Amino acid sequence: MDRHQKAALEKLAGKGIRFNYPMHQRTTYQVGGPVEVLWEARDLLTLKEVIRYLSGESIPYHVLGKGSNLLVTDDGIDGVMILLKGSLATINKGPEDSLIWAGGGLHLTDLMKWCRQKGMSGLEFMAGIPGTVGGAVVMNAGAFGHAIGEKVRNIQCVVPGGKEVLVNRSDLKFSYRRLHVQKNSAIINACLELSRSTPDKVSLKMGDFLKTRKETQPLDAPSAGSVFKNPPGDHAGRLIEKAGLKGRKIGDAMVSEKHANYILNKGNATAKDILSLMELVRFEVKRTSGIDLEPEIKIVGKKA
């Protein structure tokens, strides 16, 4: 971006804009170089205007959730990283008792707390997953054999060009860890279909899932969760363990000894360390099992 574009963007976006923002402060891996612009969008009208401007100027942009499924390269990111805040991160009741509208910027921890307090069931398996509603929907996040896409009735999004679009369930196509949607669509709302229960029952279910998560996943070091998608009929973690890679390190990046599909930042890992270890894992799994592992985490930035 040139200085004229940055000045125009600052005038259009108003408050909440920062330049050369260090992305290691916004990702759970705690690695990554700076993004040219980080902007906190707090209302729909301004979001549409900014996306319209960015599209017209061919300035690249990404919508950032909690940075929990993201690896930013060491050289950083060109363009704009957008955070959804304010009125884009709220919960509202839907037209039916079982439906809620969850804002794209709403943290999953806040959604879980609301479901627990209101006794609304259906998303207990999401307990403990970091991220935002928008990020979870785009990635079709899930655990324990379930995914959030099962509960999505429709979504509202802002597509490149700044147009607001409502996508109904019949037009939504979810697959494993993916929603097939126009690239760089900003999900501003998801209509979720839940069921009435009681706070105690919902809390108990969430507690069971959290207990299992703590027992099976390494939560004591920075990571981005599962690094690779599970291939059909198998588990990436099993294949990585079979290849003898538990505990393997490159720099301060290490394959977890607790769950082999986690690569941890054991101190001062760089994105290059993590990417190099990912390449090693893919090579060894291909050599030992004949399977090509596909990354589940999103890799963005220069030289990515």
Per the structure block, which two tokens stand in for 179?
């929603």
Per the structure block, which two tokens stand in for 41?
């969008």
| Active-site residue, selected from the candidate residues 36, 124, 284, 296 | 296
C-alpha 76/C-alpha 62 separation (Å) is 13
Cβ-proximal residues to 248 (8 Å cutoff; 6+ apart), any chain: 254, 255, 277, 280, 281
Give the distance between the most distant pair of CA atoms in the chain.
56
Per the structure block, which two tokens stand in for 126?
């999401």
Q: What does the pLDDT read at residue 94?
A: 85
**Span 152-187, pLDDT tens digits:** 999 999 999 999 999 999 999 999 999 999 999 999
Q: Which domains does the chain have, with CATH numbers?
A: 3-85 (3.30.43.10), 89-216 (3.30.465.10), 236-295 (3.90.78.10)
Q: Is 193 a catalytic residue?
A: no
| Active-site residue, selected from the candidate residues 26, 177, 248, 282 | 177
Q: Is 116 a catalytic residue?
A: no
Q: What does the pLDDT read at residue 304?
A: 52
pTM of the shown model: 0.94
| Active-site residue, selected from the candidate residues 68, 223, 226, 256 | 226
Q: Residue 255 pairs with which residues in a beta bridge?
A: 263
C-alpha 155/C-alpha 153 separation (Å) is 7
Intervals of the chain under pLDDT 70: 304
**Span 125-138, pLDDT tens digits:** 999 999 999 999 99
C-alpha 127/C-alpha 228 separation (Å) is 21
C-alpha 295/C-alpha 152 separation (Å) is 24
Q: Is 296 a catalytic residue?
A: yes
